[in-house]
Chains A and B, each alone.
Chain A
Amino acid sequence: MSSQDLGATRAGYDWPAIIKDLIGTTIVSLLLMVPIVAYKSVITQYSLVLQARWGTVAIILAVILGARLMMHLFVWNREPAPVSAAKASAPPKKSLSEQIGPWVFPALVAFAVLLPIISGGDRRTIDLGIYILTYVMLGWGLNIVVGLAGLLDLGYVAFYAVGAYAYALLSTVYFPLWFGDGMVPWAFYITLPIAGLLAALWGVILGFPVLRLRGDYLAIVTLAFGEIIRLVLINWFDFTNGPQGITVPKATFFGLPFTAGPGGFADFFGIEHNRIYYYMFLYYVILLLALLTYFVTNRLRRLPIGRAWEALREDEIACRSLGINTTNTKLTAFAIGAMFGGFAGCFFATRQGFVSPESFVFIESAIILAIVVLGGLGSQIGIVFAAIAIMGSFELFRELSVLQEYLPEGTDPVHFRMLAVGLAMVLMMRFRPRGFVTRRQPTVFLKERKAVSGDLVKEGHG
Chain B
Amino acid sequence: MATENKTPVLSVEHVTMRFGGLTAVSGLSFDAYPREITALIGPNGAGKTTMFNCITGFYKPTEGRILLRHGSGQEYFLERMDDFKISQVAGVARTFQNIRLFSGMTVLENLMVAQHNKLMVASGYTIGGIFGSGRFRRAEQDAIELAKAWLEKVRLIDRADDPAGDLPYGDQRRLEIARAMCTGPRLLCLDEPAAGLNPRESDELNKLLRAIRSENDISILLIEHDMSVVMQISDHVVVLDYGQKISDGTPAHVKSDPAVIRAYLGVEDEDEDALAAKAVAEALGETK
Interface set of A (CB-CB < 8 Å, partner B): 296, 299-300, 303-305, 307-308, 310-311, 313-315, 317-326, 332, 440, 442-450, 452-453, 456-458
Contacts and interface: CB of A to CB of B under 8 A. Distances in A.
A293 to B, nearest CB: 13
A304 B129 contact: yes
Contacts of B160: 445-447
Nearest to A304: B119
Given A440-B104, A442-B105, A446-B108, A325 B84 contact: yes
A321 B89 CA distance: 12
Contacts of B26: none
A307 B113 contact: yes
The 10 closest A-B pairs by CB, nearest first: A457-B104, A323-B88, A323-B87, A314-B102, A456-B165, A318-B100, A304-B119, A303-B129, A452-B163, A446-B160
Interface of B: 56, 58, 83-89, 93-94, 96, 100-106, 108-109, 112-117, 119-120, 123, 126, 129-130, 136, 140, 144, 148, 157, 160-163, 165-166, 179-180, 183
A442 B160 CA distance: 11
Contact of B56 (A308, A321, A325, A446): A321
A300 B130 contact: yes
A444 B113 CA distance: 11
B109 A307 contact: yes
Contacts of A313: 104
Residue among B87, B94, B160, B163 with most chain A CB within 10 A: B163
A311 B161 contact: no
- Quick one: which of A307, A326, A447, A449 has the most chain B CB within 10 A? A307
B120 A445 contact: no
Contacts of A308: 113, 116
B130 A443 contact: no
Given A321-B87, A452-B105, A303 B163 contact: no
B105 A320 contact: no
Contact of A456 (B84, B104, B120, B123): B104
Given A322-B116, A322-B179, A324-B117, A445 B102 contact: no
A318 B109 contact: no
Among B89, B102, B163, max chain A CB count under 10 A is at: B102
Nearest to A306: B126
Given A299-B129, A305-B120, A445-B161, 5 more contacts: A300-B126, A304-B115, A317-B96, A321-B180, A447-B160
13 contacts: A299-B129, A304-B123, A304-B126, A318-B96, A319-B84, A321-B96, A323-B85, A323-B88, A324-B113, A444-B112, A445-B108, A445-B160, A452-B163
B146 to A, nearest CB: 13
B103 A317 contact: no
A450 B106 CA distance: 9
A304 B108 CA distance: 13
Nearest to A315: B100
Contacts of B117: 323-324
B116 A324 contact: yes
Contacts of B123: 303-305
Identify the interface centre among A303, A319, A321, A443: most chain B CB within 10 Å of its CB.
A321
A458 B106 contact: no
Nearest to B162: A450
Given A324-B117, A325-B84, A318 B129 contact: no
A307 B109 CA distance: 8
B89 to A, nearest CB: 8
Q: Which of B83, B86, B179 has the most CB of A within 10 A?
A: B83
Q: A313, A315, A443, A445: which has the most chain B beta carbons within 10 Å?
A: A315
Contacts of B136: 303
Given A310-B105, A317-B58, A442-B106, A326 B84 contact: yes
Nearest to B130: A299
A446 B129 contact: no
B132 to A, nearest CB: 8
Nearest to A295: B130
Contacts of B96: 317-318, 321
B97 to A, nearest CB: 12
A300 B120 CA distance: 12
A369 to B, nearest CB: 20
Contacts of A452: 104-106, 163
A196 to B, nearest CB: 14
A449 B161 contact: yes
Q: Which of A323, A324, A332 has the most CB of B within 10 A?
A: A323
A22 B140 CA distance: 64
A14 to B, nearest CB: 39
A295 to B, nearest CB: 10
